[in-house]
């Protein structure tokens, strides 16, 4: 799809004028030139709201002011700091990339787009952001805000999650980029999408680009952009057994390529469908999580729902007191006082916070 040069120029000029006169969106990483801080902010903001990500960014910068300090820290401590942010593969990639740059590149970030793109966890968007913000290289960012702004303004109905759509938007974003000020332009279009051309209730009445916006003129702001693939929601049922003996609780570290990898959890039974508590306890006995006649059921929580991307998880907790120490494969007895040092998935951390577990 080809666009007239004057139309591209008109959009770029209107966006940069808005950025110069009206963009007052403040974030601590705006105008940042340090590639480490830019990289850190972009990894944290992947699939995360800015208001939530801001708190984590500030915590990480305080704990790890430069990349070597992050690289030298234990995985458990980094995951603990990341706890609650979700999408924990990002944290794994963060650690691996920090260690690679610290050891293999002597703490120096790559300075070319290709080398940035080769880093673990860095895709086209993040590489473009670092390249343009830190080094003023002419690479356009294409994120959800950019998709939305371009789709509405130019009237693009090609699905943003299709192969054709990704190519189309990427090419158009590159044509629109202000090559002399790529970092300023990239930040401007993302800010514009966040505060003016919002997903819901866009501020069209005060938008300086509205008079040339296809969606505004044709009452299509609610229908653009188009997305074609809707993945089916997967349902899962998790029952956690809080196995306590004296002042210790049994924990397991998740190591498989599934949700919450590298986080800690309690003894777990996962079911293919919702089951009565008695049936789950029998299954736990059969799986050697609960040896017969050495335990007492103290309490059963109400089910808690946790929604992840394309997953709906129902979680229930069964508090168990053991009569004696037992050995359970894959589980380790940890002091209740030490639990605060371990990173847990959000729902498990909330359970611990509210459980007021006795310490002996």
Q: Residue 357's pLDDT is what?
A: 67
- Strand duo 304-308 + 295-300: pairing: unpaired
pLDDT tens profile 55-75? 999 999 999 999 999 999 999
Residue 355's pLDDT band (cuts 50, 70, 90): confident
Q: What are phi and psi of 191, to 5 degrees?
A: -65, -40
- Residue 270: predicted pLDDT: 93
Q: Give the confidence band of 358 by pLDDT, cuts at 50, 70, 90.
A: low
For 120-136, how does the pLDDT look when each residue is reduced to its tens digit (9 = 90+)? 999 999 999 999 999 99
The set of catalytic residues is 42
> Domains of the chain, with CATH numbers?
5-217 (1.10.340.30), 234-355 (3.90.79.10)
- Percent with pLDDT over 90 in the chain: 77
Q: pLDDT tens-digit profile of 184-243?
A: 999 999 999 999 999 999 999 889 999 999 999 999 999 999 998 777 889 999 999 999
Between CA 183 and CA 139 the distance in angstroms is 9
Between 157 and 324, name the one with better pLDDT.
157
CA 150 to the chain's CA centroid? 24
Q: What b/e string do you get for 87-122 counting C-beta neighbours within 10 Å, with b at 16 or more?
A: ebebbbbbbebbbebbeeeeeebbeebeebbebebb
In the predicted model, what is the mean pLDDT of residues 71-89?
93
Say what the pLDDT of residue 6 is: 86
Q: What is the mean pLDDT of the chain?
A: 92
Q: What is the pLDDT of residue 344?
A: 95
Residue 1 pLDDT: 61
Is the pTM value of this prediction over 0.95? no
Distance CA 76, CA 341 (A): 8
Model pLDDT, residue 209: 95
Provide the 3-class DSSP secondary structure of residue 126: helix
Give the whole-number percent of the chain exceeding pLDDT 70: 98
């Amino acid at each position: 799809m080809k666009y007239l040069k004057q139309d591209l120029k008109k959009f770029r000029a209107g966006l940069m004028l808005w950025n110069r006169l009206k963009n007052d969106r403040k974030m601590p990483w705006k105008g940042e030139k340090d590639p480490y801080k830019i990289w850190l902010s972009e990894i944290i903001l992947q699939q995360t709201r800015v208001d939530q990500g801001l708190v984590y960014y500030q915590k990480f910068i305080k704990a790890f002011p430069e990349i070597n300090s992050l690289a030298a820290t234990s995985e458990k401590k980094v995951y603990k700091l990341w706890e609650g942010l979700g999408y924990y593969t990002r944290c794994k990639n963060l650690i691996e990339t920090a260690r690679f740059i610290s050891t293999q590149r002597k703490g120096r970030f790559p300075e070319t787009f290709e080398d940035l793109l080769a880093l673990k966890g860095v895709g086209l968007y993040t590489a473009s952001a670092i390249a343009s913000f830190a080094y003023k290289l002419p690479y356009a960012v294409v994120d959800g805000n950019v998709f939305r702004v371009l789709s509405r303004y130019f009237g693009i109905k090609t699905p943003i999650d299709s192969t054709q759509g990704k190519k189309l938007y990427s090419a158009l974003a590159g044509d629109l980029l202000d090559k002399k000020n790529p970092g300023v332009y990239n930040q401007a279009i993302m800010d514009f999408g966040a505060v003016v051309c919002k997903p819901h209730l866009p501020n069209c009445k005060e938008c300086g680009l509205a008079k040339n916006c296809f969606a505004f003129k044709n009452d299509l702001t609610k229908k653009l952009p188009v997305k074609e693939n809707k993945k089916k929601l997967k349902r899962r049922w998790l029952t956690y057994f809080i196995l306590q003996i004296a002042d210790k609780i049994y924990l397991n570290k998740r190591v498989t390529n599934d949700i919450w990898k590298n986080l800690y959890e309690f003894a777990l039974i996962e079911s293919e469908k919702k089951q009565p508590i008695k049936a789950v306890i029998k299954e736990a006995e059969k799986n050697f999580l609960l040896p017969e006649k050495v335990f007492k059921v103290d309490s059963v929580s109400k089910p808690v729902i946790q929604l992840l991307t394309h997953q709906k998880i129902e979680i229930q907790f069964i508090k168990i007191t053991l009569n004696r120490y037992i050995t359970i494969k894959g589980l380790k007895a940890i002091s209740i006082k030490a639990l605060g040092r371990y990173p847990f998935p959000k729902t498990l951390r909330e359970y611990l916070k509210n459980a007021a577990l006795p310490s002996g």
